[in-house]
Amino acid sequence: MQQPLTARRSSAISGHVTVPGDKSISHRALILASLATGTTRIDGLLEAEDVLATARAMETLGASVKREGDALQILGRGVGGLCPPETVLDFGNSGTASRLMLGVLAGYPWRVSLTGDESLCRRPMKRVLRPLSAMGLVVEDDKDTLPLTVVGTDDLLPIIYELPVPSAQVKSAVLLAGLHAPGKTTVIEPLPTRDHTERMLRYFGAEVNVAIGEDDSRAITVTGDAELRGAHVVVPGDPSSAAFLVAAALVCPGSDLMIANILLNPTRTGFLRTLKEMGADVEILNERDAAGEPVGDLRVRSSALKGIRVAPERAPSMIDEYPILAVLAAFAEGETRMEGLGELKVKESDRLAAAAAGLAACGVAARIEGDDLIVTGAQTVRGGGSVETHMDHRIAMSFLTLGFASEEPVVVDDIRMIATSFPNFVPLMGSLGARFG
Ligand code: S3P
């Protein structure tokens, strides 16, 4: 049963908060902890549906995952030490969980079936199956989508693979498979994508080498037959979740919001860079390091925004933030042109179409030209729309945020998927001054 929710014009969004842990780092922490020998402690893990799918998969494969106070303790099995699953692995809504785990499973000689929900079963898998097949994974069905059955091997070949699309999930799947292969496995990426896998592999003791080209391309090499050792991981706040709070504070008048402990890895800060260019008052304070990742605090105050051009090269560093940027563009003076968004079409929904349709439903002039989204902003946004979320958490949170600052309330058709990444979004926004219902 769908669960609609209405967002209403709100006054200032103010207070001092933290947001839940970073989703990408949480998946990787669970996977590497399970592949390590000994115990890993994870503080700040995101306990949301997507990450719980990874935790369940790791337990099915023999890792022990236990709660200890606010932390999790994982007893790993060592690289090559996982146990064959006795059931189908169900990854729910999570593209990251399913694609990264295909990389892990490639290194084991088992026949494993994988599935997911309706949205995940529409998303392309060949992007990971292609390089993994070159390493030795056998895919039983010649199709691009889950459900799929694959047979791995304990005799993987190391490869050199150049990513045809900028995708941290594909890069990570190949690097994780490379842990099980002899020799060196290399992924070349023309544009840098989030590098949490590389950082965390090193943190757990693997040998990872990154060569940066003059054109900013990267060649990432992992040495196989690796040994990972349990570690203490501290997961910082998710900048992709914080983006909704930042946006709400920018567009609701009189806001002054502090968000503490946010991940500031440069491969994830494209949204903050873009906001600066739009004239947003966002300060980064207290920059520090947390278990191998840069973090800091954000102070956000309401701002008059101006429309800008966002170049395609920016996309990998803010790929999940385009729906909320499109909403901000509706409140900015002039036109915002977001270029090179082809990858948005294969996210939890076709986010390019869903964002444009949602904006149109709220009286905002938005159009798609090829892979570009062009939004014409105005000081007042009508709102009043009924927005289809297509099982997509970020579309739901983006258009609720639009409703906090539009003239008329905005209804989103279903908020259940918000639990995949940001389970306390509604109460947290409410506690800061946002109005629902
Ligand atoms: C993710 C990578 C991105 C991003 C996703 C999480 C990751 O996807 O959209 O939400 O954790 O590696 P792609 O790598 O497919 O671009």
Q: For residue range 374-417, list pLDDT tens digits in order.
A: 999 998 999 998 999 999 999 999 999 999 999 999 999 999 99
What is residue 350's predicted lDDT score, i.e. its pLDDT?
98
Domain boundaries, the chain: 5-21+236-436, 23-234
253: exposed, middle or buried (C-beta count within 10 Å: 0-12, 13-18, 19+)? exposed
State how far the Cα of 185 lies from the Cα of 177, in Å rounded to an integer. 9
Q: For residue range 103-146, list pLDDT tens digits in order.
A: 999 999 999 999 999 999 999 999 999 999 999 999 998 999 99
What is residue 296's predicted lDDT score, i.e. its pLDDT?
98
Q: Chain-centre distance of CA 328, in angstroms?
A: 20
The first and second tokens of residue 48, run together, are: 């949301």
| Length reported for the chain | 437
| Ligand 1 in reach of 319 Cβ (< 6 A) | yes
Ligand 1 centroid distance, CA of 241 (Å): 14
Ligand 1 centroid distance, CA of 320 (Å): 8
State how far the Cα of 88 lies from the Cα of 79, in Å rounded to an integer. 21
Q: For a ligand 1 pocket test, name from 165, 319, 324, 348 the mutation site with the most ligand atoms within 8 angstroms of its C-beta.
A: 319
State how far the Cα of 400 lies from the Cα of 410, in Å rounded to an integer. 7
First-to-last alpha carbon distance for the chain, in angstroms, is 18
Tell me which CATH homologous superfamily contains domain 5-21+236-436. Answer: Enolpyruvate transferase domain (3.65.10.10)
99: exposed, middle or buried (C-beta count within 10 Å: 0-12, 13-18, 19+)? buried
- List residues with catalytic annotation: 320
Contact by Cβ (8 Å): 241, 421: yes
The pTM of this model reads: 0.98
Q: For a ligand 1 pocket test, name from 24, 125, 317 the mutation site with the most ligand atoms within 8 angstroms of its C-beta.
A: 24
Q: For residue range 151-168, list pLDDT tens digits in order.
A: 999 999 999 999 999 999
What is residue 199's predicted lDDT score, i.e. its pLDDT?
97
What is residue 144's predicted lDDT score, i.e. its pLDDT?
97
Q: Which atom of ligand 1 is nearest to the CA of 172?
A: 12
Q: For residue range 162-200, list pLDDT tens digits in order.
A: 999 999 999 999 999 999 999 999 999 999 999 999 999
Same CATH topology for 5-21+236-436 and 23-234: the answer is: yes
Identify residue 210 by its one-letter amino acid code: V
What is residue 97's predicted lDDT score, i.e. its pLDDT?
98
In this structure, what DSSP letter does residue 235 have? Answer: P
Q: Omega of the bond prior to 147 within 30 degrees of 0, cis?
A: yes
For the chain, counts of helices (H) and of strands (E): 12, 24
Contact by Cβ (8 Å): 397, 418: yes
Q: For residue range 254-265, list pLDDT tens digits in order.
A: 999 999 999 999
Angle at 94 between CA 66 and CA 77, to 5 degrees: 35
| Ligand 1 in reach of 96 Cβ (< 6 A) | yes
Of the chain, the percentage scoring pLDDT greater than 90 comes to 98
Predicted confidence (pLDDT) at residue 291 exceeds the cutoff of 90? no
Q: Which residues pair with 155 in a beta bridge?
A: none
State how far the Cα of 219 lies from the Cα of 200, in Å rounded to an integer. 17
* Pairing outcome for strands 14-18 and 256-263: parallel
Angle at 295 between CA 289 and CA 297, to 5 degrees: 130
Mean pLDDT of the chain: 98
| Ligand 1 in reach of 348 Cβ (< 6 A) | no
Architecture of domain 23-234: Alpha-beta prism (3.65)
* Residue recorded with tokens 């990858």: 343
Q: For residue range 246-255, list pLDDT tens digits in order.
A: 999 999 999 9
What is residue 183's predicted lDDT score, i.e. its pLDDT?
96
Over residues 75-82, the mean pLDDT reads: 97
Q: Which ranges constitute the DSSP H helices of 216-365? A: 239-251, 270-277, 322-331, 351-361
